[in-house]
Structure 1
Amino acid sequence: MPARWLPWGLLAALVLTQICYPLTEGDARARLTVVTVLLGVAFSLVHALLARGPRAAVALVLSAMAGGFVVEAIGVATGFPFGSYEYSGRLGPRLLGVPLIIPLAWTWMAWPAWLAALRLARRRASRVAIAAAGLAAWDLFLDPQMVAEDYWRWRDPSPALPGVPGVPLGNYLGWLGFAVLLMAALAAAAGRATAGPLSSDAPALALWLWTYASSVLAHAVFLSLPASAAWGAVIMGAAVLPLLLRPRLPA
């Protein structure tokens, strides 16, 4: 397979794995969750390397993967910035109370969020804001789903969004705050902060759009989480759907 097609191959494997998710349960679903994240982070790192070069890939690892682990370790130990929570142990090995798969999830979704923002704004501050808002809005799907699967839980999950018990409002604010720091670091370190040719960025943009659409569908139809489907559809949609209107915005 030519290198330029590798991201598409990883994306296809990721999509197939996610389609299988509602068809499994219990430990099989937990293992599939881990495989999904591994495919996702492989996709983002490979795409960053091929489309933007080694500097971008290293910047993604340092800002999202290392940064994600640090903030999660602080969160588990202190309750800041996400609230007091704990992991159940169903997601594999842990370090400092954090499953090693968790910072990989930050890395997986930070990259397409950043590339989408490059096409929607010209100023760095605006790009950081859009990317951070999109990444934080993804949590409107992620946390309700993971809490329902008992992968983690909050000790005091109130106040919460209407219809989405189990996830405190403060968690979403914590996600947004860290997402801003993550994207600011990525913007400063990644280099070539321009919207590349649509053909080179297409796999990552396709992942971004797929994540949004499939999350709405899965929560509304397959996972019996209609409230998170509605919240995510509106709020993440505000960050994602403009991409359909301006995919070729010049840098």
Structure 2
Amino acid sequence: MSVSRVTPWTLLGLLILAQICYPLTSGDTRAAFTVATVVLGYVLSVSHAFLTRGPRAALALVGTATLGGFAVEALGVATGFPFGTYDYSGQLGPKLLGVPLIIPLAWTWMAWPAWLAAQRLPLARWARVAVAAFGLAAWDIFLDPQMVAEGYWRWVSPTPALPGLPGIPISNYLGWLGFALILMTTLDHLVRRIIPPAGPSVAPDGDVPIIVLWIWTYASSVLAHAVFLGLPASAVWGGVLMGAAVLPLLPHLRHRS
């Protein structure tokens, strides 16, 4: 079995194991599993882009999501735009310009499955970009309540907020959506320039680990928030909104990206 098949599945298995351990721990151990999950997800997405679409695709992902994610987070911490005024605690490891270094890795981890999953939908190109951006932004409805509850970051002015989700302003989700649209538009343009529609295609099952990651992230987040983390409101909000991007994918799983 080739490295391009074994590596993504191995990383995905380790990531799922780390996520299962998360609600079973607390304190510094839970923070360590948070960091481990993000690092595993980052390596999974970047290595998959490299192994299936080449080094230039991996560089496009890193450039748009990692560097772009760091830039927008640094801007947000310094100015309050586009997410609102917030700051990070020291629990997530070393910082640069006030941003924990794992934060842009998280943008990258989920940007790749959001984009790949949208490619399987029978929609116009612009609509697939919009679905990918919306799905990525909707994931934050799980992420922010969970991380704020753990004290990993806090908002200075957390109002107005979505009903049942105190502590996070609506401006945060709007900022996520705005940046996600820029990120996905740029990523889509770069990857299509690297691999034009008439160019070599990916093996039919080559993207399956990343599609599984996308579906697992959605389903496990709903379950964890509803049952293990005591966050039923984010389970409902995230279940509905991220579900709008994830669930339409299910009938098209047999189609190649």
User: With structure 2 as the length reference, what TM-score do the two structures score?
Assistant: 0.94
Preserved CA contact (<8 Å) 1:112 1:208: yes
Query: What is the CA–CA distance in structure 1 between the aligned matches of 2:204 and 2:84, rounded to whole Å?
Result: 39
Query: What is the CA–CA distance in structure 2 between the aligned matches of 1:117 and 1:159, rounded to whole Å?
Result: 31
Specify the alignment match of 2:245 in structure 1: 239
Q: Report 1:93-108 matches (<5 A).
A: 93-108=94-109
Query: What is the CA–CA distance in structure 2 between the aligned matches of 1:46 and 1:249, rounded to whole Å?
Result: 22
Q: Report 1:68-87 matches (<5 A).
A: 68-87=69-88
User: 2:226 aligned to 220, 224, 244, which one?
Assistant: 220
Preserved CA contact (<8 Å) 1:57 1:190: no
CA RMSD between the two structures: 1.4
Specify the alignment match of 1:127 in structure 2: 128
Preserved CA contact (<8 Å) 2:9 2:209: yes
- Structure 2 letter corresponding to 1:102: I
Any unmatched runs of 5+ in structure 1? none
Preserved CA contact (<8 Å) 1:136 1:179: yes
Query: What is the CA–CA distance in structure 2 between the aligned matches of 1:30 and 1:232, rounded to whole Å?
Result: 22
Paired residue secondary structure (1:190): helix
Assess, with a 3 A threshold, how the Cα gap between structure 1 residues 157 and 193 changes in structure 2: closer, same or farther: farther
1:137 aligned to 2:148?
no
- Structure 1 letter corresponding to 2:173: Y
Preserved CA contact (<8 Å) 2:91 2:152: yes
1:204 aligned to 2:210?
yes
- CA-to-partner distance for each residue in 1:11-53, whole Å, 9 max, x for gaps? 0000000000001100111111001000000000111111111
Query: What is the CA–CA distance in structure 1 between the aligned matches of 2:72 and 2:175, rounded to whole Å?
Result: 10
1:116 aligned to 2:109?
no
Specify the alignment match of 1:26 in structure 2: 27
Give 1:181 shift: 0.3
- CA-to-partner distance for each residue in 1:87-145, whole Å, 9 max, x for gaps? 01110000000000000000000000000010014432112101000000000000000
User: With structure 1 as the length reference, what TM-score do the two structures score?
Assistant: 0.97
Give 1:74 shift: 0.2
- Structure 1 letter corresponding to 2:2: P
Q: Report 1:182-197 matches (<5 A).
A: 182-191=183-192, 192=195, 196-197=202-203
Query: What is the CA–CA distance in structure 2 between the aligned matches of 1:38 and 1:108, rounded to whole Å?
Result: 8
- CA-to-partner distance for each residue in 1:141-177, whole Å, 9 max, x for gaps? 0000000000001001011111110111110000000
